[in-house]
Chain A
Amino acid sequence: MTDTASTQNIAPQTKSRSLWETAFLRLRRNKAAMASAIVLVVYILAGMFGPSFAPHHYATVYSEYVKVPASLEPYPREENILPAAEEAVARARLDIASVELDGGVVRIAASSGSKVDPRVTRYLDRSDLFTGTRIVETSGDGRSVVMEANVQRLRFIFGTDANGRDLFARILISIRISLMIGALATCVALFVGVLYGATAGFLGGRIDGIMMRIVDIIYSLPFIFFVILLVVFFGRNIVLMFIAVGAVEWLDIARIVRGQTISLRRREFVLAAEALGVSPGGIVRRHIIPNTLGPIVIYMTLLVPKVILLESFLSFLGLGVQEPLTSLGVLISEGAKNMRGSPYMLIYPSIALTVLLFALNFLGDGLRDALDPKDR
């Protein structure tokens, strides 16, 4: 005998979830992906606002601090202060009587054969170690002076590069540039690739064949030549870097989207739309493209790392982002050259790049896991 009461239990009403909401919930449960998303947000914020808040500007050159190692303690080092003061005064062609350091102030007594030019304070101010040099005493005949200068404390937590620029500030601006390049190139590639692939897949037949043939051809062209041309004709413009990189990446997207479109085309809802008389453009826009978005989003998060690495390869060849801007690729290839003398020049940008790429990869994985219905 069946228990009719239980079989007639009506399940409580729940709101039905869309594909995106389900996916988002699944994503939330993926701890690695969530952590990656947070990291990514941190990077984006760092890239957008970091350079304004960094203690140094990314293009400021400190000629006294070329390639200094990373340190939490401020520069200058104690043992360098007095010799630097002596050197500066010597360049002013004065004879040094005494040099003392008192707290944050250096006191120098010097004399010269002729009247001392009051401009000698500039010699000390020039040095990145001292500011606010002033003459506190002058002897009667004007040939001896006592000067005081404040020792300027600067912190370079990641050290400085080969020109004496703060590496931390450089890394922040490079994050901005790399993310910009990654995002914009990907958008360009996406825009072109999706349209192209969807059209080719939808129209099918000979047109599809020709369009894919064009993709194959472009794939085989010498990319480096293309980049050289761009650098030569538009070298200083960073936007051109996006175009160069985007021009290569749209090919893969087009292929993938075309594959998706072909399989989608035979699905019932597309056939229904066709039967209803929806225009081909409308079908592509409203049915095909939204359904390919899943793989596209996933591919995007995996494309951005590819773009950033491609840009770093171009920087290694010297064809990438130009001065005074910089990207992670430029910093890393500079660091690779200085690996043995100043390893921090390689380590910190590499960590920055690795963490960023890890985050993007895990986020991509998470999105794929979340959006793929067969995976659970």
Chain B
Amino acid sequence: MAHEYECFVRNFSDLQEGSTVVLTLRSLSPGRRKYNARVVRARVSRLVEAGSDTLWARCMVGAKDPQPWSVQVIDELGPTVSGQPYSDIFDAMERLAPDARAGD
């Protein structure tokens, strides 16, 4: 069953066709657990086929990219990441994807 998610990115350009990235994936499935989040390593693509999970990207002011991505979760990284209070979550997630490159 296909799921729908959203994520926040520092810049929309942080997502590139075919790239593998570490994201905080937020569920958009209806119900009480809507918006619950987890950290994943995933591959994203602009090609959204029937049956694939859909990902919507929002920037840091909450504006939504009108074009969706398809997302394929490669690794579940847990609900949280290592870091001290007030440190940058985007930097922390980037450190978990040392091999993430466009076109991977």
A and B are interacting partners: no
Binding site for A on B (CB under 8 A): none
Binding site for B on A (CB under 8 A): none
